[in-house]
Structure 1
């Protein structure tokens, strides 16, 4: 019996150390180590509890739980790492509850070891189930620590258990509770829409109708007034939808204010990721609000469909984004206290640049009542195929890749997440899609991605249905209004070479483009307040609004060329 106890204890310590030190070498190794750990745990439970003087039926129950978990895991291997997370999480909860119950019948050091070990197991189990993407990487650590504790208990023997073992159990329990509290705090920090964003039972079918408005003050300049609005628009399939947004005007009342319609950059694809719910302007990379107000312009900033309101959000899906931008302007004009006029220029950055390009092309047919004086796209996501193909070369780029595949899988029946994301990364991608870019928990997502030994993709993402859908959403429509495209030359997300290629293709198709490049500017620094691109954007916009209604005439350039800068 002593030999068996020693052998089992050594096996548990070895398996626990292997899982804790190398928690996710590969899915196959993880499955094998967890299965082995569950089987050895069953043997250990049968050896340990009877020696402590507890009923054998309790030992059988604990051993049976470990064996049941092993059987379920073997039968559920098709679910991949998700099965490991759920099985291990539930097993930790079960064993933790049994530990706490067992502590009532023990004395001294044994009681404290059982109680503290149970608390740690319950906390680790809750953490595993609450944070599945983190658990993909840490599940080995969580389960490995459990195996190490059990193995150490077996090797120590009942007579040699003393205060040091209690101290070790206490430290593990404290660590588990701290991690659980941090997880709960991060979850509470996630933005959640209030009742304002819920559509009424009856919504007009016509797009661009103002449903409701409410004064808004957060981060609004002192010399401005603002409202948040809820309005009608349409999804990509033409189905009526509801979107939210913000309207900001100079405090001194004026009539027929020129409008800057702002399309924000990536904030996430979950419902809580609307800029109007968080940092309303900087979260979407609008750093020039003071300049807009100072010049006597109004700002209309859409949240897009699915951010704030019911989803799905059309992330980098042109029709839905573009319609949200144009319908926000229509709805904002119905705010009688705002005093908006018809002169309108579109601005957009990154995802918003993509939205602005689509809105500019859609406006003549979809919203002829919103004549545009100009469209400015700053580091726009123009060539989506090149964007997705290059995300793997950027640190943290697969965060944006997760948004793309999750959004496209929701929007298109022929794009399936399982076809493009490898099994070990699916839980990670799904959890990233449920978080917003500005949430503190997104740091966890980034750390999880960086800890993986392989990319999230199951082969080349720019193939098959996803490739076709990405190509469909590359902005290629004619924009009759004057068009400005700005690009930072140090941008590692929207690559300058890809942008130049897209501009060249549009020029060759006859589109007039004022294309400007900015040395030393990255993706976000391009639109920061001190950027020369912002000074150029303000001057360019002032020129458009000073010219004839509808902007300065945009004459088609000769084939293969663009107007000189």
Structure 2
């Protein structure tokens, strides 16, 4: 009996330690607490694109450049006031005003604290950032609304992404001591490719005073219902699905998170949706995605109100602005055959669109700093700034 009691006490101690360790890991991997820089003012100015505050930024900024992080006003997908942040980088050499590259980032999460700036990763997967600075171009990279400052993140919500990007360009022009040219080219990757294409769509309506010359989208999420359906059973599809569901449930009244998820995976899906896809948080999310098993969705993602909202956020074809879509032929997240289908339909609808596949490249290797795409991107952007004619569909 005494031995059994000792064994029972030992078992309780080990179980308690395991529970504490798991709870500690769960808490440790949540998004960090808010930075006072992103605290909203008591009242937002009514005009979108108003610079609220700025301060110098030095983390990972290369020599020959200076940078600021900025907080500014924007609009959400419904036109309501929202708050967003961005990084602005400009060369210290060359002649001002500087042409501008607007960068729209890939997936980092869907809640405040998960933007590239609060994560300390503003240049993650940017294919040619140092080369852009050396070329004498400025760099404006939005976190998107609700990704650093409080609010709802427009994850794969086209109008919200586009407005965050366009208003960052407006606000950057208000930074004291910085002279930016009108000429602007938008770069984006993955989720950011989706945002870049939507920026071209929304530009004439939301910020026609800006001068956009072209959109370069690397592995953009385009045909959302098909893409999400094709990867729903994969761990990465469970994580992405959780992000999309959270953003859509927060954005659209007819999308219900609970109704769209299986009961067995609902808690895990909610928890994954509240984490960033970076560092320690990503490790916990991957573990949760493995535990979830199968799709997190209760039905087909393309069905019902959720499917309708996904179709609503497929980027329309760009007919008045040059666009270039690049795709790795070994991408297992944004699938090449799905991308080809989108490109064919966009071209048939009259898009001014060039499509190029890169042999042997997957979703991330496509945008590596020394890759063929980075070199081609620089040349394509230089041609847009020089006013050279762009190739159409081919």
Shorter-chain TM range is over 0.9
Answer whether contact 2:102 2:140 (CA < 8 A) is retained: yes
Change (3 A) 1:420 1:290: same
Change (3 A) 1:440 1:271: same
Correspondence 1:370 to 2:213: no
- Distance in 1 of aligned mates of 2:213 and 2:286: 40
SS in 2 for 1:342: strand
Q: Structure 2: 5+ residue runs without aligned partners?
A: none
Q: How far did residue 477 of structure 1 move?
A: 4.4
Aligned pair partner of 1:533 in 357, 373, 378: 373
Moved more, 353-362 or 440-449: 440-449
Q: How does 1:46-195 map to 2 (within 5 A)?
A: 157=1, 159-161=2-4, 166-187=9-30, 190-195=31-36
Aligned pair partner of 2:113 in 257, 266, 272: 272
In terms of fraction of residues, the more helix-rich structure is: 1
- Distance in 2 of aligned mates of 1:202 and 1:287: 38
Q: How does 1:374-385 map to 2 (within 5 A)?
A: 374-385=214-225
The C-alpha deviation readout for 1:235-289, integer Å capped at 9, x for no partner, is 1111121211000011237421000000001110010111111133244x21422
Structure number with the bigger relative contact order (C-alpha 8 A, sep ≥ 6) is 2
Aligned pair partner of 1:420 in 252, 260, 268: 260
Correspondence 1:230 to 2:71: yes
- TM (norm. structure 1) is 0.67
Q: How far did residue 420 of structure 1 move?
A: 1.4
Change (3 A) 1:170 1:464: closer
Answer whether contact 1:253 1:339 (CA < 8 A) is retained: no
Moved more, 338-347 or 173-182: 173-182
Q: How far did residue 393 of structure 1 move?
A: 4.7
SS in 2 for 1:381: coil
Aligned pair partner of 1:433 in 273, 290, 295: 273
- TM (norm. structure 2) is 0.95
Change (3 A) 1:546 1:553: closer
Change (3 A) 1:509 1:181: closer
Structure possessing the higher radius of gyration over alpha carbons: 1
The C-alpha deviation readout for 1:30-59, integer Å capped at 9, x for no partner, is xxxxxxxxxxxxxxxxxxxxxxxxxxxxxx
Q: Structure 1: 5+ residue runs without aligned partners?
A: 1-156
Q: Which residue of 1 aligns with 2:306?
A: 466
Q: Which residue of 2 aligns with 1:19?
A: none
Change (3 A) 1:483 1:181: closer
How many matched pairs?
Answer: 394
Q: How far did residue 314 of structure 1 move?
A: 1.1
Change (3 A) 1:391 1:197: same
Q: Which residue of 1 aligns with 2:86?
A: 245
Q: Which residue of 2 aligns with 1:197?
A: 38
Answer whether contact 1:259 1:344 (CA < 8 A) is retained: yes
Answer whether contact 2:384 2:390 (CA < 8 A) is retained: no
- Distance in 2 of aligned mates of 1:331 and 1:382: 28
- Distance in 2 of aligned mates of 1:370 and 1:197: 26
Correspondence 1:497 to 2:337: yes
The C-alpha deviation readout for 1:515-560, integer Å capped at 9, x for no partner, is 110011111111111221111001110111112xxxx4568x6xxx
Q: Which residue of 1 aligns with 2:296?
A: 456
- Distance in 1 of aligned mates of 2:97 and 2:293: 57
The C-alpha deviation readout for 1:455-494, integer Å capped at 9, x for no partner, is 2111212101111111111111434221111001000111
SS in 2 for 1:372: strand
Change (3 A) 1:287 1:478: closer
- Distance in 2 of aligned mates of 1:426 and 1:265: 25
- Distance in 2 of aligned mates of 1:392 and 1:282: 28
- Distance in 2 of aligned mates of 1:275 and 1:178: 28
Answer whether contact 1:230 1:244 (CA < 8 A) is retained: yes
Q: How does 1:318-397 map to 2 (within 5 A)?
A: 318-397=158-237
SS in 2 for 1:245: strand
Q: How far did residue 164 of structure 1 move?
A: 5.2
- Distance in 2 of aligned mates of 1:183 and 1:229: 31
The C-alpha deviation readout for 1:393-446, integer Å capped at 9, x for no partner, is 544221001111111111111111122101121111111111100141332222
In terms of fraction of residues, the more strand-rich structure is: 2
Answer whether contact 1:210 1:334 (CA < 8 A) is retained: yes
Q: How far did residue 162 of structure 1 move?
A: 6.4
Change (3 A) 1:233 1:477: farther
- Distance in 1 of aligned mates of 2:197 and 2:166: 12
SS in 1 for 2:46: coil
Answer whether contact 1:358 1:475 (CA < 8 A) is retained: yes
Q: Which residue of 2 aligns with 1:63?
A: none
Q: How does 1:399-418 map to 2 (within 5 A)?
A: 399-418=239-258
Change (3 A) 1:459 1:535: same
- Distance in 2 of aligned mates of 1:394 and 1:179: 24
